[in-house]
Amino acid sequence: MFNDFKPVLKILLRFVILYVVMVLAYQFYLNQFKSMGLDPVSEWVADQAAFVQDFFGYQTQIVPGKPEQETDWFYVSGRYVSRMVEGCNAISVMVLFLAFIFAFYQGIKTFVFAGLGFVFLHIINVLRIAGLNILLVEWPQYSKIGHDYLFPAIIYGSVVLLWLIWIKFFALKDPVDESA
């Protein structure tokens, strides 16, 4: 009976190991910037969101918070609308995405799909942050539903969509021989 579940258990074990290793690596990265302000990846994402907002005519300024706050403040069209914290960079969501993709390893196409998926999720996340900031300027009465439900659904929905594409078109096609 154990042999029936062996492939599933291998995938599950691979997922858990990859996820834990990537989470620990990301936490190690974050610890390097503890109490120094927002980490560089989060600042980079905030700058890109500000660029998108500027492109759409929403003049944006990013004001760094105090180092111990580990946050940046978005001022859009001259007023404070939101703040950027580490969790907004979507790296933890991307780690979850990558652990799943590599759990169903399929050779080189795994790396290609993971790389393209990572870039896609980054773009979606930047657009998500810019969209949320624009929503906060234009329709502040929808801030709670936008921040708590709509915009998280966009990033998590994108991950699920990529997972479904990976499983349907790549992982279940032509499996790689793992005995080699």
Cβ atoms within 10 Å of 106's Cβ, excluding its own: 19
Q: 3-state class of 72 per DSSP?
A: strand
12-21: average pLDDT: 97
4-23: average pLDDT: 93
Place of tokens 């918070």: 65
Report the predicted TM-score, pTM, of the whole model to 2 decimal places.
0.90
Please tell me the predicted confidence (pLDDT) of residue 180: 44
Place of tokens 């005519």: 57
Residue 89 has pLDDT above 80, yes or no: yes
Place of tokens 């997922």: 15
pLDDT category, 4, cuts 50, 70, 90? confident
Residue 174 has pLDDT above 90, yes or no: no
Please tell me the predicted confidence (pLDDT) of residue 177: 53
pLDDT category, 175, cuts 50, 70, 90? low
How many Å apart are CA 91 and CA 121, to the nearest integer? Answer: 9
Please tell me the predicted confidence (pLDDT) of residue 6: 87
Place of tokens 């859009």: 76
Are 28 and 119 in contact by the 8 Å Cβ rule? The answer is no
Of 5-9, 73-77, 85-89, 98-102, the poorest mean pLDDT is in 5-9
Please tell me the predicted confidence (pLDDT) of residue 176: 53
The predicted-structure confidence for 22-57, as pLDDT tens digits, reads as follows 999 999 999 999 888 899 999 999 999 999 999 999
The predicted-structure confidence for 94-151, as pLDDT tens digits, reads as follows 999 999 999 999 999 999 999 999 999 999 999 999 999 999 999 999 999 999 999 9
Q: What contacts 42, CB < 8 A, 6 or more positions away? A: 72, 84, 85, 86, 88, 89
Are 123 and 159 in contact by the 8 Å Cβ rule? The answer is no
Are 74 and 130 in contact by the 8 Å Cβ rule? The answer is no
Phi, psi of 82 (to 5 degrees): -160, 175
Residue ranges of the alpha helices (H) in the chain? Answer: 2-31, 40-55, 91-103, 108-138, 143-145, 151-166
Query: Which DSSP category does 86 fall into?
Result: G
